[in-house]
Amino acid sequence: MNAMRPDVMRLAAVLPLSLALAACNKPSPPEKDQPPKPKAEQATALRDAIQAPINKAKAVEPQVLDAAKRQAADIDAQAGGGDSPATPGN
């Protein structure tokens, strides 16, 4: 049994050394002809859920601005159509 002991000791010394050397190698670079594949699927459902209210607000914005202009014109017409705002206390 003593004859096997040096072989086991040699294996115990060589195995960790070979594993350490194998771990130190750089990974091979990807081929330049093909772009790298995405690692995760794009979260389109989440993106769409976030983007939907923004798109809705952008679609309504011109209508809101037109209504604000009409309201400002109505207020000016009711106030007498003056260019300067009315000052309180006069």
The residue extents of the domains of the chain are: 44-78
Task: State the pLDDT at residue 85.
Answer: 55
Q: Over the stretch 24-80, which tens digit does the pLDDT of each residue have?
A: 777 777 777 777 777 666 778 888 999 999 999 999 999 999 999 999 999 999 998
Helices (H) then strands (E): counts for the chain: 2, 0
For residues 86 and 79, the answer to whether their CB atoms sit within 8 Å is yes
For residues 30 and 36, the answer to whether their CB atoms sit within 8 Å is yes
83 vs 7 pLDDT, higher one: 7
